[in-house]
Structure 1
Amino acid sequence: MATISLATYIFTRLKQIGVDTVFGVPGDFNLAFLDHIDEVPNLRWAGNANELNAAYAADGYSRIKGFAAICTTFGVGELSATNGIAGAYAEHVGLIHIVGSPTISAEHNKLLLHHTMADGKFDIFNKISRHITLKTAALDDITTAPAIIDDLIRTGYIYKRPVYVEVPSNLGEEQVPAARLNTPIDLSLPPNDPAAEKEFVQEVIDKITKATKPCILVDACAVRHDVKNFVADLVNATKYPVYVTPMGKSAFDEDNERFCGVYVGALSKPDVKESLENSDLILSIGGLLSDYNTGAFTYQYHTTNVVEFHSDYCKVKSAVYQGIQMQAALAKIIKALSGVNLNYVPTPVPASVSEYKQVQKVTSGKITQEFLWRKLSYFLKADDVIVSETGTSSFGILQCHYPAGVTAISQVLWGSIGYALPSSVGAAFAADEISKDKRVILFTGEGSLQLTVQAISDAFRRHLHPYFFVLNNKGYTIEKLIHGLHAEYNNIQTWDHQKLCGVFHDKDDYENYKVSTVQELNKLWSDPEFNKPTKLRLIEIMLDEFDAPKNLIGQAKLSETINSGN
């Protein structure tokens, strides 16, 4: 029987499900394992500058490709990645964390090895990861290893959460049957319980037939768990108005005539707030009701008729249907609607949905937050990937109108400052694998940039061409607005951003820009060559220190109140 190494088996399985890049950092316990990447055609090693950036990059990659892989070394390497892994867990992002660990005999003999806690315990880091992954495993038997790997990949892929596996440094070289690779990993979701699903579907149809002021509210997990097409079909069948949350932005086509804007509780536009909150039926799809996603928990529904669709349960009012997954349930509801008469007569969308068009009247002056985010609506193209950092960027971008097919990436729930830059690099890896014309566009603050700036080096290393827009407004704006407006701890060391690319790259195939005025930004964004992703570009945008999106100012006040315990 033909055999291959366990390491080659793992890399081949990843390639089979669409993973074309493996992120991570080499270390002595994973070096032999990494030798086998080259045995899998067209699988590349990203070679990140540090493990935290590798984890963030894997997160961004997964949000485009559906799954990702990161490989680190035992202890020191894996712990450096844990913040990024935890964020992926919180935000429903599927990936596998492969850790090269000491040999089985070293663990058995409790050797006092480097990268350990000097106490003979080798399972400490695995135990840590159990809290931030859906499933963990420590391989110790070559005969069972392939099945464990297949199960981990399946679990992480279908449930969109990180999984973790330790591969002892000697075990990756051991041989396993190659024939197992001929059977693809089953990536289909387990079926819903037929009786419970039938009852749930009928309950929803009954409510839909009676509703006169219904709506659909789309949130993050509609994107993560791949039900965007179901949402579109549901809207086509009902003509219901559609609202998105901050985390759900890009989950529904904003060019659709039924798109009604972004709902953020008390921070919503007044007409958006009024129209949604007066609904008599809300179909909530993929909700993640965190503070920054709900305007600090200020949702004010005037109805008890809320139907919740989730990846692992569904709910009608107070009745919870455990184990009923939204994908299959939505498909059956949409099918059932073909024979249903609706009481709903489509209503006009809120006027504020088109407010972004007013920016065309602005032709001169310094760049403001309001101008920047509305004008971005005209720079974006269909199928762009746009990554926004937590804070000014993630709040400001809610004012932007997305063309069809845009994928938005932000970490609104976990909210780790510094996430967006390496995430955009991970997304750029994924975009590069899909189409050389696919653009990845980052918006981040100059303070956030300093936390993970080495990710620029990762992009140069593999000849990627993202756009890095760096908002320079003299420090940590979101923190200043929450608390400490003039405090020294919210200030940062100033950098010369125009020299950054030269630090990380020894060639001149990149472009630097510094823009301060409306005229400069309009000229740049209208330049046909600038619009083509042919090289890496870093664009520094100069903004006033305390200029901020209105919704961020409102959120900051609410957050300060919550943080003070009032």
Structure 2
Amino acid sequence: MIEYHGYHGGQVYLAEYLFTRLYQVGVRSVHGVPGDYNLTSLDFIEPAGLHWVGNANELNAGYAADGYGRINGISALVTAFGVGELSALNAIGGAFAERVPVVHVVGTPATHAQNSQSILHHSLGDGNFRVFARIYKDFTCAQANLTNPKTAPEEIDRVILQCLKQSRPVYIELPTDLVKAKVYSHRLNQSLKVLLIENCPNIEEDLIKELCQRIQNTRRPSFIVDGFTRQADMLEEMNKFIYITGYPTYVTPSGKGRVNESFPNFRGTYMGSVGKDVHVEWVNSCDLVIRFGPLDADTNTYGFTTLTNRKITIDINETSINMQGVLYDNLNTKILLQKLFAMVYHLGRSSLLEPYPKLGNPRRDRIQSLLPPMEDGLIEQKTFWTRISDFLKPNDVILTETGTPSSGGQDLILPPATTMINSAIWLSIGYTLAASVGVALAQRDLVAEKKRPEGRTIVFQGDGSFQMTAQSISDVFRNRLNLTIFLINNDGYTIERHIHGMTAGYNDVHPWNYLDAPHFFGAPEDYPVFTRRVVNWGELRDVMKEKQLIEGKGFNMVEVVMGQQDAPESLRGLVRLVCERDGEWEEY
């Protein structure tokens, strides 16, 4: 492994500098696919202390890098110029939309070939080598083309800093003839994370006081926690703040798992017009709503019906606050929440608070309302997600795929210290299976360095979406990851059926023998594998008692058969809202 401490003006190879920097900011596994324009640079990955994942294709590599970045705080992806980077573009688009920090390194042709506009393979054949970089400019928050060894270290640092600061993908081009160019190494003595903290502005005390005053003067408040609260520090401070105030607290679909659901003031997912009227009435009557990390997408706001009155709403984002229409930008909200928590804790809960109605704690209410199912009864969406919640444990990371799993997953009863990952705006079908590779890797890397307690990676995946990214199973076996998959086999694209074409052939998928995946993708002989197919509640109950499944070691897949048209009520309601808005609603 490269030793990166104590550089005093010496020189290192450019690729050595790049991968050392990635190690310094916390990356331990590098996703990607080899190609002739990046092969030389790949030789520098392992010496830098990094693990080469070696994905089956670039799209899955991009999804996996997204999953890794959500757990680890930053990730890296390496592809080849042209065909490789375009194959990963969909995944990078999702990471940009959902604010995931990914450093995308693209191996490009030699500078002399680019300058002479040679007609090279993997190009469009027109001598234009900037076309792909121009495309990526709209999908990344910062870009660098490392054509000058003198400025390359500074450019690498600039781009990685922006990746950390904005929590979005960045794009670095590394020409083949500059991989071994010598660059000065002294900048490696400066930690980028320390530099990021030092450059954070101070929080204005007047802003803290105004926020505290509004909190003390409220009579009917609520919190709504959304998905752009991924920073671990922000989550910790936010949860302390939520607990000490005792305000009724909701999550959005994207925010599921961000709040400790065992808090007595937790009220579940706020679904607007799709949910219960009592919650809508309460939120609409509030005189203060504080939203953490809001994502105002149609799918995340149930057709925009959860949006609150701007005049009584304060949005707290990772780097800004919008206080009832006035924007305060370039802030460090971790420090802000620390100071705000200290003031509120000192002053105590406001005496002006009106008693809010007993809206119920969804954890206890749902469990107590369930009756034991018939042993031979078919498994259905209505109660599956609540019943399967007994399987979850603290420190698990749970991924729910777009469609019935992401909607049904809102009914999961999460133990403390669990993490939920779903897509709330990009919604690229197949994302979750591939992302779970990165999640499992990130968990393993962080546990190895004692930065995270050990937990399971659990995926709820549809049969149609599984077919999109099935090659990810190869990546699981190659890296000997621990992964548990609940494959919801409902014979096609059920979410699309409810949008349009309930019985149309284009919403069908060819049936696979899903449980043969370990054989086809070559599971190692000494690697634990567990597979089972369940079609009724009795079989599901029995499989939940299996030791390997409970421990989550090795590869585990449970194929859960459900009805072709069965869908969670929340999904039906959301589809109806969106289709009615667009004039496309059909009653089935």
Quick check: TM above 0.5?
yes
Q: Residues 190, 286 of structure 1: CA spacing in aligned structure 2 closer, same or farther, 3 A cutoff? A: farther
TM-score scaled by length of structure 1: 0.95
Can you list the C-alpha shifts for 1:152-206, whole angstroms capped at 9, x where unaligned? 1111012200000100011111122334322211232743465xx3343233222
Q: Which residue of structure 1 lines up, in the alignment, with residue 54 of structure 2?
A: 47
Task: Tell me which moved more, 414-423 or 234-243.
Answer: 234-243
Output the CA distance in 2 between the equivalents of 1:139 and 1:152: 11
Q: Quick one: which amino acid aligns to residue 250 of structure 2?
A: Y
**1:371-410 aligned within 5 A:** 371-410=383-422
Q: Residues 360, 8 of structure 1: CA spacing in aligned structure 2 closer, same or farther, 3 A cutoff? A: farther
Q: Which residue of structure 1 lines up, in the alignment, with residue 300 of structure 2?
A: 293
Q: Which residue of structure 2 lines up, in the alignment, with residue 481 of structure 1?
A: 498
Output the CA distance in 2 between the equivalents of 1:209 and 1:361: 46
| Counterpart contact for 2:243–2:263, Cα < 8 Å | no
Indicate whether 1:69 and 2:76 are aligned: yes
Output the CA distance in 2 between the equivalents of 1:536 and 1:189: 43
| Counterpart contact for 2:234–2:318, Cα < 8 Å | no
Total equivalences in the alignment: 563
Output the CA distance in 2 between the equivalents of 1:286 and 1:476: 31
Output the CA distance in 2 between the equivalents of 1:348 and 1:563: 35
Q: Which residue of structure 2 lines up, in the alignment, with residue 413 of structure 1?
A: 425
Query: 3-state DSSP class of the match of 1:36?
Result: coil
Residue 425 of structure 1, CA deviation: 1.1
Output the CA distance in 1 between the equivalents of 2:509 and 2:281: 40
Q: Which residue of structure 2 lines up, in the alignment, with residue 491 of structure 1?
A: 508
Can you list the C-alpha shifts for 1:309-331, whole angstroms capped at 9, x where unaligned? 12343122222223345333323
Output the CA distance in 2 between the equivalents of 1:212 and 1:239: 13
Match of 1:103 among 92, 105, 110: 110
Indicate whether 1:368 and 2:380 are aligned: yes
Q: Quick one: which amino acid aligns to residue 387 of structure 1?
A: L
Query: 3-state DSSP class of the match of 1:227?
Result: helix
Can you list the C-alpha shifts for 1:401-444, whole angstroms capped at 9, x where unaligned? 10011111111111001100000111011112233842000001
Q: Which residue of structure 1 lines up, in the alignment, with residue 4 of structure 2?
A: none
Query: 3-state DSSP class of the match of 1:140?
Result: coil
Q: Which residue of structure 2 lines up, in the alignment, with residue 356 of structure 1?
A: 366
Output the CA distance in 1 between the equivalents of 2:309 and 2:324: 13
Residue 215 of structure 1, CA deviation: 1.2
TM-score scaled by length of structure 2: 0.92
Q: Quick one: which amino acid aligns to residue 356 of structure 1?
A: R
Match of 1:17 among 25, 28, 31: 25
| Counterpart contact for 1:160–1:224, Cα < 8 Å | no
Output the CA distance in 2 between the equivalents of 1:425 and 1:298: 34
Match of 2:120 among 108, 113, 120: 113
Can you list the C-alpha shifts for 1:27-47, whole angstroms capped at 9, x where unaligned? 000000001112123x11010
| Counterpart contact for 1:356–1:400, Cα < 8 Å | no
**1:140-151 aligned within 5 A:** 140-151=147-158
Residue 142 of structure 1, CA deviation: 0.6
Output the CA distance in 2 between the equivalents of 1:532 and 1:78: 37
Output the CA distance in 2 between the equivalents of 1:330 and 1:352: 26
Match of 2:43 among 20, 35, 45: 35
Output the CA distance in 2 between the equivalents of 1:541 and 1:565: 31
Output the CA distance in 2 between the equivalents of 1:467 and 1:273: 36
Q: Quick one: which amino acid aligns to residue 558 of structure 2?
A: I
| Counterpart contact for 1:87–1:414, Cα < 8 Å | yes
Query: 3-state DSSP class of the match of 2:487?
Result: strand
Indicate whether 1:458 and 2:475 are aligned: yes
| Counterpart contact for 1:279–1:303, Cα < 8 Å | no
Q: Quick one: which amino acid aligns to residue 491 of structure 1?
A: D
Counting aligned pairs with the same residue, the percent is 36
Can you list the C-alpha shifts for 1:252-302, whole angstroms capped at 9, x where unaligned? 100111211111211223333333332221011110011111111112647
Match of 2:541 among 522, 531, 552: 522
Indicate whether 1:500 and 2:508 are aligned: no
Q: Residues 124, 235 of structure 1: CA spacing in aligned structure 2 closer, same or farther, 3 A cutoff? A: same
Output the CA distance in 2 between the equivalents of 1:326 and 1:105: 46
Q: Quick one: which amino acid aligns to residue 184 of structure 2?
A: P
Output the CA distance in 1 between the equivalents of 2:75 and 2:374: 43
Output the CA distance in 2 between the equivalents of 1:349 and 1:446: 40
| Counterpart contact for 1:368–1:543, Cα < 8 Å | yes
Q: Quick one: which amino acid aligns to residue 29 of structure 2?
A: T
Root mean square deviation of aligned Cα: 1.9
Output the CA distance in 1 between the equivalents of 2:478 and 2:371: 38
Output the CA distance in 1 between the equivalents of 2:224 and 2:509: 39
**1:522-541 aligned within 5 A:** 522-541=541-560
Query: 3-state DSSP class of the match of 1:209?
Result: helix
Query: 3-state DSSP class of the match of 2:120?
Result: coil
Task: Tell me which moved more, 165-174 or 517-526.
Answer: 517-526
Q: Which residue of structure 1 lines up, in the alignment, with residue 5 of structure 2?
A: none
Match of 2:213 among 176, 201, 206: 206
Q: Which residue of structure 2 lines up, in the alignment, with residue 187 of structure 1?
A: 196
Q: Which residue of structure 1 lines up, in the alignment, with residue 574 of structure 2?
A: 555
Q: Residues 322, 158 of structure 1: CA spacing in aligned structure 2 closer, same or farther, 3 A cutoff? A: closer
Task: Tell me which moved more, 215-224 or 264-273.
Answer: 264-273
| Counterpart contact for 2:464–2:493, Cα < 8 Å | yes
Can you list the C-alpha shifts for 1:488-524, whole angstroms capped at 9, x where unaligned? 1111111111212211015453121101111111122
| Counterpart contact for 2:106–2:173, Cα < 8 Å | yes
Task: Tell me which moved more, 183-192 or 163-172.
Answer: 183-192
Residue 361 of structure 1, CA deviation: 2.9
Q: Quick one: which amino acid aligns to residue 391 of structure 2?
A: F
Task: Tell me which moved more, 291-300 or 155-164.
Answer: 291-300
Q: Which residue of structure 1 lines up, in the alignment, with residue 442 of structure 2?
A: 430
**1:196-275 aligned within 5 A:** 197-224=204-231, 226-275=233-282
Runs of 4+ in 1 over 6 A off after TM superposition: none
Q: Quick one: which amino acid aligns to residue 366 of structure 1?
A: L
| Counterpart contact for 1:279–1:302, Cα < 8 Å | no
Structure 2: gaps (5+ residues) = 1-8, 449-453
Q: Which residue of structure 1 lines up, in the alignment, with residue 460 of structure 2?
A: 443
Output the CA distance in 2 between the equivalents of 1:404 and 1:493: 39
Q: Quick one: which amino acid aligns to residue 341 of structure 2?
A: I
Task: Tell me which moved more, 493-502 or 438-447.
Answer: 493-502
| Counterpart contact for 1:241–1:349, Cα < 8 Å | no
Output the CA distance in 2 between the equivalents of 1:252 and 1:386: 14
Residue 544 of structure 1, CA deviation: 0.6
